[in-house]
Structure 1
Amino acid sequence: MSMRLAGRTALVTGATSNIGRAIAEAYAAQGAHVVVSGRSAERGEEVVEGIRARGGRADFVQADLDGSAAASQTLAEQATRVLGGRIDILVNNAGIYPAGSTEATDEKTFDQVYAVNVKAPFFLTAAVAPAMAEAGGGAIINLGSWIARLGIPVGALYSSTKGAMETLTRAWAAEFGPRGVRVNAISPGVVLTPAPGEEHPAEVMMKGTPANRMGTPEEIANAAVYLAADESAFVHGVVLDVDGGRTTVAVVAA
């Protein structure tokens, strides 16, 4: 079986758990050399060890993407060095989610969420995309969210940052696409792994959708493989909904 990402290199932020981890593992399974990035060295090394045990190539680069241009630039430089001089695929996945109401959100929280969810990927893309273009091309995949386009009564701050990332996806596609760098995004639905036999409180938001269930990290990773691989060579600036039909189909109350 051919590996769809053989010979390519990838940097995945927030890759020590959940969706980011699944993407890193899927890329490695498809032949890519992956830099797993995150704040926790312990969790990062666990992911790397698992990938290597399955015959994949991976390294961990610790990074606290706090929104500063310096932190993003440092990660870009370190990952490029570990990957042998180039990054072919960048996944902007790292983010934080405070679920509070608008009135309960203080200025410090507001600034922190925008710093991590928008500023950090902005400056990381600014550091990586030009080098991709100079090397002949690449693929950048941003993580959006279904609540960027379908309002819910909590998490307004988070949803606004994901709306910003979806807008940046289109703008970057226009900016970098002509230079050989494809930029797209994935908009996941509710993706959580509940404990066996237990129903997660968020599960109710997927009731009545065509899928009628929460998604798995692996299902998002499958979409990330597609957007990084040659099959999507003609795909630029899209936000791919991988949400069980949550944003595109009328939900029928159970």
Structure 2
Amino acid sequence: MMNGRLQGRRALVTGSTSNIGRAIAEAFAAEGAHVVVSGRSADRGKDVVEGIRARGGRADFVQADLDGTAEASRALARDAVAVLGGGIDVLVNNAGIYPGDATADTDEQTFDRVYAVNVKAPFFLTAVIAPAMAEAGGGAIINLGSWIARLGVPVGALYSSTKGAMETLTRASAAEFGPRGVRVNAISPGVILEPSPGEPSPGEVMMNGTPAGTLGDPRAIAHAAVYLAAEESAFVHGITLDVDGGRTTTAVIAA
């Protein structure tokens, strides 16, 4: 059922063929937005688009491999604008990769690739889309951070550093583009996994001792993204919204 909180908006969600990105694209479409679903897999992209259309939403797929080059980001922006028949009102920088290697096991090629995909690609996508939003009268950009950007864990140092960079870029971009009508905010998800009934996840232990006490569903992040894209958050600039079951802020002490 469409509630229309994003009625008439045109949105681009990167990395939206699965998990969090897919949930955001589906939620945006359910609220009336015309959504460009983007990712590397045409098959998965087609599946997301068909699902959205079957529920009465508007969506199109644009294939893209955001490798960190400025041209790849610019090409996606051009293709998305063409499909949407005009500008982009909402950009969600969600695409990212996660190698879980220890620091000593991370080679230079992996380091460069993770920063290219997780930081350079959204930086250059923002660089081309934010000024166009400002020229058109405004818009909203939502970046994806991560709880491990601020709570150190002994694995994934490379990934967590990229998410720390994205949260810093969120604040800097809010300062740069906010006065021109473009709101820039971030969401910091906790341990989020698509539901797999009957299959335990090793990530569950990472939510022990939190108020939620369990893994998060991608839809929790999608709800937050709808809020940051909609008019309800018109006075919200430069924040990182923790949607992590209390992982970074609260410790539940058992009696």
| TM class, shorter-length | over 0.9
Please give the alpha-carbon distance, in whole angstroms, between the structure 2 residues aligned to 1:80 and 1:194: 33
Please give the alpha-carbon distance, in whole angstroms, between the structure 2 residues aligned to 1:128 and 1:184: 15
| Within-5 A mapping of 1:241-252 | 241-252=242-253
Structure 2 partner of 1:161 = 162
Identity %: 80
Give the aligned residue type for 2:4: M
Shift of 1:198: 2.8
Structure 1 partner of 2:30 = 29
Give the aligned residue type for 1:165: M
| Within-5 A mapping of 1:1-254 | 2-252=3-253
Shift of 1:25: 0.2
Shift of 1:48: 0.3
Are the counterparts in 2 of residues 63 and 75 from structure 1 also a CA contact under 8 Å?
yes
Are the counterparts in 2 of residues 117 and 161 from structure 1 also a CA contact under 8 Å?
yes
Q: CA RMSD in A?
A: 1.1
Secondary structure of the 1:219 match is helix
Please give the alpha-carbon distance, in whole angstroms, between the structure 1 residues aligned to 2:96 and 2:6: 25
> What residue ranges of structure 2 are gaps of 5+ in the alignment?
none
Q: Deviations over 1:98-119 (max 9, x none)?
A: 0010000000000000000000
Shift of 1:24: 0.2
Shift of 1:151: 0.4
Shift of 1:85: 1.1
Shift of 1:194: 5.0
Give the aligned residue type for 1:206: M
Secondary structure of the 1:103 match is helix
Secondary structure of the 1:91 match is strand
Please give the alpha-carbon distance, in whole angstroms, between the structure 2 residues aligned to 1:193 and 1:19: 8
Please give the alpha-carbon distance, in whole angstroms, between the structure 2 residues aligned to 1:133 and 1:184: 16
Are the counterparts in 1 of residues 3 and 32 from structure 2 also a CA contact under 8 Å?
no
Please give the alpha-carbon distance, in whole angstroms, between the structure 1 residues aligned to 2:208 and 2:249: 14
Please give the alpha-carbon distance, in whole angstroms, between the structure 1 residues aligned to 2:157 and 2:57: 39
Please give the alpha-carbon distance, in whole angstroms, between the structure 1 residues aligned to 2:64 and 2:196: 29
Are the counterparts in 2 of residues 207 and 253 from structure 1 also a CA contact under 8 Å?
no
Moved over 3 A (4+): 251-254
Give the aligned residue type for 2:83: V
Give the aligned residue type for 1:95: G
Secondary structure of the 1:35 match is strand
Shift of 1:196: 1.8
Secondary structure of the 2:104 match is coil
Shift of 1:33: 0.1
Q: Deviations over 1:179-229 (max 9, x none)?
A: 000000000000013532232011101012001111000010000000000
TM-score, scaled to structure 2: 0.98
Please give the alpha-carbon distance, in whole angstroms, between the structure 2 residues aligned to 1:9 and 1:253: 47
Please give the alpha-carbon distance, in whole angstroms, between the structure 2 residues aligned to 1:145 and 1:14: 15
Please give the alpha-carbon distance, in whole angstroms, between the structure 1 residues aligned to 2:188 and 2:37: 21
Are the counterparts in 1 of residues 3 and 30 from structure 2 also a CA contact under 8 Å?
no
Please give the alpha-carbon distance, in whole angstroms, between the structure 1 residues aligned to 2:44 and 2:254: 39
Q: Deviations over 1:19-71 (max 9, x none)?
A: 00000000000000000000000000100000000000000000000000000
Secondary structure of the 2:187 match is strand
TM-score, scaled to structure 1: 0.98
Shift of 1:252: 3.3
